[in-house]
Amino acid sequence: MASGIFALLDDIAALMDDVATMGKVAGKKTAGLLGDDLAVNAEKASGFMSSREIPVLWAITKGSFLNKVIILPIAFLLSAFVPTAIKVILIIGGLYLAYEGAEKIYEYFFPHANPHEKPKLEKLTKEEALAREKEKIKSAIITDFILSVEIIIIALGAVSDESLNIQIPVVTLIAVVATVGVYGVVALIVRMDEFGARLIDLNERDDSFSDKVGRFLINALPKVIKGLSIIGTIALMLVSGGIFVHNIHFIHELVHSIPSILGEFLVGLIVGALTLPIVNLLKKLWKSIFKKS
């Protein structure tokens, strides 16, 4: 009986060792994408009132966990029985990310508001403010879903030659680390100003070291958020372009002679430029049909 228990423990230890080893391999494969995920989601999670930042971020984090709960079993089943479906899902996700990135670039160069008019502050009711907040949370969770699919598929590809009892814990571990790590860092970023204010109030002395650090954090936050918005847009293009480059052979052949990061960005930019007018046209048609009905 004792020997059976020790044999079982030995098997578990060997399995955990294999999981740790393959987890490092999958982690290296997805590290770049996790950086893109951080930039995109930090930009998505910013722009809320200070009192609503943590509740909004928690709502997005819960949505991210739910995304993983939905994606993981489907990914394992599709990988085992319908592997071509994985590629189709990735390409659809790539189209969405390219469109979103192109829309941000278009809005930057051709803003909807008239640049000669002074921006007007909108007076929103509590219900209207919450409705807008929910829309932003929904948009963030949708983007997270697509990025999560990409992360999970890449992690799954890194351990595709392993048995299912290795694949499941490794890919699940990557998914959990992606959510906790990314949104943990995002929480630190969006609360920089709050932490800075606390450092300033730490003592009654003027121009102390804590005061200097606190003011630096408060002044840096808008620049960090603006920078993340730019990085997030670039990341959308890189992720979407990477999907097409790595999954469509003729596109890979077109850009294989130039640096991979430049090739992926150009592909994402071109796909976004083609997708944006098509989606906008479909939106207009949908609105016109909806108004008529």
Domain residue ranges of the chain, discontinuous segments joined by + = 2-114+123-292
Would you state the pLDDT for residue 35?
59
Give the pair of three-digit tokens for residue 157.
Answer: 């590809």
Would you state the pLDDT for residue 131?
82
Give, in order, the Cα–Cα distances in Å from 292 to each of 190, 278, 285. 43, 21, 11
Buried b (16+ CB within 10 A) or exposed e, 122-145: eeeeeeeeeeebeebbeebbebbb
Would you state the pLDDT for residue 292?
59
Would you state the pLDDT for residue 269?
94
Q: Do 26 and 159 contact (CB within 8 A), yes or no?
A: yes
Per-residue pLDDT at 59 exceeds 70: yes
DSSP 122: P
Q: CA 283 to CA 9: how far, in whole Å? A: 58
For the entire predicted model, the pTM comes to: 0.67
**Residue 1: pLDDT band with limits 50, 70, 90:** very low
Of the ranges 27-31, 157-161, 276-280, the best mean pLDDT one:
276-280
> What are the tens digits of pLDDT across the range 101-147?
899 899 888 876 544 454 454 566 767 777 888 888 888 888 888 77
- Can you give the C-alpha Rg of the chain in angstroms? 23
> What are the tens digits of pLDDT across the range 209-246?
888 888 888 888 778 777 777 877 887 788 788 889 88
Would you state the pLDDT for residue 199?
83
Give the pair of three-digit tokens for residue 108.
Answer: 């930057």
Would you state the pLDDT for residue 93?
78
Give the pair of three-digit tokens for residue 36.
Answer: 């893109």
